Chain A
Amino acid sequence: MSTSRDRRRSWILGLLLTLSMIATGTSYAAGPGKEAGPSRQVSTADHTKFKELQGPFASGPEVTKACLSCHTEASKQVHKSLHWTWDYTNPTTGRKLGKKNVINNFCGSLATNEPRCTSCHIGFGWKDDKFDFASEANVDCLVCHDTTKTYRKFPTDAGHPAYVPKEFPKGKPWPAVDLVKVAQGVGQTSRDTCGACHFLGGGGDAVKHGDLDTSLKAPSRDLDVHMGKDGANFSCATCHTTRAHITAGSRFATKATDTDGIDVPGRGDGNRATCESCHGVTPHKGGAQAQKMNRHTDRVACSTCHVPEFARAKPTKTLWDWSTAGKLEDGKPFVVADAHGEATYDTMKGNFEWASNVVPTYRWFNGDIAYTLADQKIDDTKVVSINTLGGSADDPKSRIWPFKAMRGKQPYDTENKTLLMNHVFGKDDSAFWGNFDWGKALAFAAKATNAVYSGKYGFVESVYYWPITHMVAPKEKALACVQCHAAKGRLKDLPGGYIPGRDRFGWLELLGWALAAATLAGVLLHLAVRLVSSNRARQS
C-alpha cells in the first residue's frame, strides 16, 4: 500500500535533485586541454628520442618500416582490420560488403576510382585493383597516430601525403609533409585523426553521416554530451575501443541491442561501442518516470530519444542527384552555392540538397543490414533501397532506431535492372570528371568490374539509411514523451507495433464515442421532457 506514496515521494525527490543539478551546473567536466576518457593514457615513450625516427624519410612506407622495427606486429594487426581491407563478409548471408564492394548513393563506388577514394584508406598506394594487401610497409601508421595535426593525405594520390609542395584544388597550395616531425610526434588517435576521414565522408564536411562532422573536433556539451569540451571530453576511441588495431563499432555489423549491459573486466564483450556498455540496459535512475523509461529500452534504442535531431552544427547532405551532372556554362563546369555556401549544383556531381537540425527517420532495426549490390536486380518503379534494414515490431530483437535517410538519384542499367558502378576519377579518357560523358564512364566501370551491362542506362531514385548514434544531447534535451506518443508524432510513419497515443482502434473508437454520445443525448432528451412537463404542470 505504501508503494504508490513511496514512488511518488521518490519521484518528487528525483525531480528536486535533477533541478538542483541543473541549477548548480553539475556535469562530468574533465579538465580542459587534453582529451579525457577512460582510454586515454600517458605514453612512457618519447618518440623524439628514437634513433629510428631521426630520418630523413623519403616516403610514408619508409616511416612505416621504422615504426615496424619496434612495433613488430602492428601491420599484421592492421591487415585484419576493416580500416585496411574495406572488405567484410556478412556472416549470416555470406554477402560481400565493405567499402570495396558496396555501391552507395554518394560518390558511388570504389572500383575504378581508387586513387581518389583511397586518400581515406589506412595505407599507401591503393591506386587500382592490383594493390598488395599483404604489404606491411604500405600500412599508414601516421594517418591515425599523428599528433602534430600536420599530416594530411593528398586527396588524389592513393593515400600518400604530399612529399613535395603541391596544389589542391588547382591554385591552392598544399604544403609538403615533414615526415620526421610527424614520425617523432606519434601518439594516440584523436578526434582530429579519426575525423580526417570520418568527419569528411561522402566528399566533404558533414556530407555523409549527419551525426559526424568537424564540429565534433571541439563540440559543446550541448552538441555532444560525451565529446563536449565542457562535457565528458571523450575522444572517438573512448567508445570505439580498439584492441590489436581492431576497432569496435561498424555499420556493416551493427549491434542494435546490447543486452550484455555494462562492460567491466570479466563481463561483457569488452567493447564500449554501444551506449549500454557504459550505461547498462536500465540507465534511468529515479522514481516512477525513470522506471517507465527503463521499460522502453528493450524496444527503443537510446539514440532515438537522446539524439533529438542530427546535423545540429553543420548542414548535412540529404539528396544527391547524379542525373543532372555534366551541365556546362560557356563550355565550362560550374558550381552553384546556397546562402550558407553549400553547393546545390556541381557539374561534376549533379544537384544537392542540404538540411540542418534534421528529425531522423525512425525504423525497427535488429542490426541486420542487407545491401543492394551490383549483381542484384532492382525494381526501378520504386525508390531503390541501397540498404534494407532488418527487423520489425514483431521481432523481439528489434528496437526503434533513428536514421539519416540519404536520398539519391543514380545511374542504373535500364535493361538488366541493376545499379551501375560509376567511373568518375582517373587520368583516362572515360572518367566522368574528365569529359562528362555518362556512356563512356559507365561502360568503363562495368568493363573494369566484369559487370553485366546492356549499355543502356538511366537514373533511379534511391535511399540509404545511416544509423544515428553520435551527437548525443544532454539528457535535458532528450525527446519528451509526446513527441512519439501522438497521432502525428515522430513515429507516425513507423510500421507496426502499438504505441499509446499514436494508434487508434477504428471501430471501437466509433462505437465507444457513439455509446457515450447516445447516452448523453438520451439523458438530455429526458431532461428536456422533464423540464417541459414540470413547466406545464406549474402553469396549469
Chain B
Amino acid sequence: MSTAVVFSRFERFWHWTQAVLVLGLGVTGFTVHGSISFLDWGMAANTHTALAWALMILWAFAIFWHLITGEWRQYAPTTEGLGAVARYYLIGIFQPAVHHPYRKRRVAKHNPLQRLAYLFLDLVIAPAIWISGLVYMYRDEIGGFLGTIPSLAAIAFVHVAAAFLMLTFVIAHVYMAFTGKPWWDYPTSMITGRAEVVD
C-alpha cells in the first residue's frame, strides 16, 4: 500500500466551499422558515438567495468536471462489499484491532456505503432543493409560462423537506468524517488530498 493524491485540488476546493455554503444556507434557510431567529430575517433571506446562486454555480463547475474527467463513476452504486462495511461500522469499529474492510483504489475511492450516501445526496436531496428553490425564486415567471402560479406552500414544503434531509446528511457525514483511525485521518485526507490506496 502507498499514499497518493486521491482528492484533486478542484475536488478539495469544491468540497470545502460547498461545506461552507451548505452551512450558511442551512442557518439562513431555517431563519427564513422561522425555526431559528438570531439572524435578521431580511438579511437572512437575501443571503440565502446569494449563497444559493453561489452553490449552483459551483455545482455547474462540479458537474462539468465530473463529466469531463469521468470521475462520476466514483458514485456508481455497488452492493459488493456493502455488507462488510456496514458490519464494520456496527461492530468492528469498536475493536481496536479491526481495520476498515474497504481498500481504496484511485478509481474507486469511496466505499460502497459512501457511494450510496453520496448518490442519494446528489440525485435526490440536492436536486429537490435546487429545483424547488428555483421554482420558488421564479414562481411568477413559471406561473406566466404554465398559466397557473404554483402554490407557494407546496414549493416551500418540498424545499423544507429536502432541507431536513440535508441537515440529517450533514450530521451523519460530519460524524463519519471522524471515524477514521486515527480520528483525524479522513479530514486530513480531504485537506491534503492524500490517502492510502492499494494501487
Contacts and interface: CB of A to CB of B under 8 A. Distances in A.
B152 A519 contact: no
**8 closest Cβ contacts across the A-B interface?**
A512-B164, A482-B41, A481-B42, A498-B153, A4-B53, A523-B175, A533-B94, A501-B34
A234 B15 CA distance: 58
Nearest to A508: B161
A317 to B, nearest CB: 34
Contacts of B179: 530
Contact of A498 (B40, B50, B152, B164): B152
B93 A486 contact: no
B128 interface: no
A3 interface: yes
Given A526-B175, A530-B93, A537-B96, 7 more contacts: A7-B53, A288-B46, A292-B45, A481-B41, A504-B34, A512-B161, A530-B94
B175 A1 contact: no
Interface residues of B, number: 39
Contacts of A72: none
A527 B175 contact: yes
A445 B34 CA distance: 54
Given A482-B40, A498-B152, A512 B167 contact: yes
Contact of A519 (B40, B54, B163, B171): B171
17 contacts: A8-B50, A11-B46, A292-B46, A292-B49, A481-B42, A485-B32, A498-B156, A500-B33, A503-B153, A508-B161, A511-B164, A512-B160, A515-B165, A516-B171, A519-B172, A526-B175, A529-B94
A486 B165 CA distance: 24
Nearest to A532: B94
Interface in B1-58: 32-35, 37, 40-42, 45-46, 49-50, 53-54, 57
A512 B179 CA distance: 25
A523 B176 CA distance: 8
Chain A at the B interface: SS class: helix
A481 B45 contact: yes
B151 interface: yes
B53 A3 contact: yes
Nearest to B161: A508
A500 B34 contact: yes
Interface string A464-498: 00000000000000001110011100000000011
B6 to A, nearest CB: 25
A516 B164 contact: yes
A505 interface: yes
Contacts of B167: 512, 516
Nearest to B32: A500
A133 interface: no
A486 B34 contact: yes
B164 A4 contact: no
**What class of interface size applies to chain A in its complex with B?**
35 or more
Contacts of B175: 523, 526-527
Contacts of A4: 50, 53-54, 57
Contacts of A3: 53
A515 B57 contact: no
A292 B164 CA distance: 25
A81 to B, nearest CB: 39
Nearest to A483: B41
B170 to A, nearest CB: 9
Contacts of B160: 505, 508-509, 512
Contact of A533 (B42, B95, B168): B95
Contact of B57 (A1, A292, A482): A1
Contacts of B42: 289, 480-482
Nearest to A3: B53
B140 interface: yes
A334 interface: no
Nearest to A8: B50
A162 to B, nearest CB: 56
B164 A513 contact: yes
B157 interface: yes
Contacts of A16: none
A501 B171 contact: no
Contact of A486 (B41, B149, B157): B41
Contact of B34 (A396, A480, A485, A520): A485
A502 interface: yes
A175 B107 CA distance: 102
